[in-house]
Amino acid sequence: MKITMVKKIKEDGKECKKCREVVQRLEQNNELQYINEILYADVNDPESAGCILAKKYAIDIAPFFVVEDAGKVTIYKTYMKLKKDIFNKEPDKKDIEIEEKRKPKVDPNEDLYWL
């Protein structure tokens, strides 16, 4: 199984807040070790590896995860779903709080969107 995490790089060159929060949760839960590759979707570079993957799978939110297992590809738009399905763990209160911040807002220019 290969797990790729795609993180957003904003116009100012910094990682988006939600991406940093999810990485922090992965570290705290000792799950970052299962992430095989981290790619960046740089909003200033539509040809960045993360942007190419986002376009390929029609994803417009960050972070997201691409899980390849036995030739099958599954996209996870939320850390909670990845945690439950892949790590076989139930999300805790902090995980839920982070995902609540990711819910679509009226403004598509919010920090986590890039397309």
Contact 42, 52 (CB under 8 A): no
Q: What digits encode the pLDDT tens for the residues 33-60?
A: 999 999 999 999 999 999 999 999 999 9
Structure tokens at 59: 């994803």
d(CA 36, CA 66) in angstroms, rounded, equals: 10
Domains recognised in the chain with CATH numbers: 2-101 (3.40.30)
Structure tokens at 64: 């997201």
Q: What digits encode the pLDDT tens for the residues 93-106?
A: 877 777 777 665 55
pLDDT of residue 115: 45
Q: What digits encode the pLDDT tens for the residues 72-92?
A: 999 999 998 999 999 999 878
Contact 99, 80 (CB under 8 A): yes
What pTM was estimated for this model as a whole? 0.83
pLDDT of residue 52: 96
d(CA 79, CA 8) in angstroms, rounded, equals: 15
